[in-house]
Amino acid sequence: MDEIRASSTPPQDDGAVAFPGQKQEASVMDRVKKGCTSFYASSQETLRYVKAFFVGWGKKMTAKSEKEAAEADLKTAKMQVQATEDAENTKKRT
């Protein structure tokens, strides 16, 4: 009798209807979204590195003293670090 009662009780439903493949589709969309966001962040990082290089190079070429050239190098390094940090933050948000 206990076996009949245990097998005849339907499982509890939490209100969510799950169709076969729905979870997989959501994970595929999540992966696509994460991939696109990662690509975007990497592209932005690359462009910012290139910008930092040319800004630093231009300031170095127009520097009138060793101090200005050193400041140009420092600005280039700061811009590159900022580009990396922004890209990492964008990737972490996903």
Q: How confident is the model at residue 5 (pLDDT cuts 50, 70, 90)?
A: low
Report d(CA 16, CA 28) in Å as an integer: 20
Digit-coded pLDDT (tens) for 31-71 = 898 899 889 999 999 999 999 999 999 999 999 999 999 99
Q: Does the reported pTM lie above 0.85? A: no
Q: How confident is the model at residue 91 (pLDDT cuts 50, 70, 90)?
A: confident
Comparing C-alpha atoms, which of 33, 30, 14, 32 is closest to residue 22?
A: 30
Q: How confident is the model at residue 90 (pLDDT cuts 50, 70, 90)?
A: confident
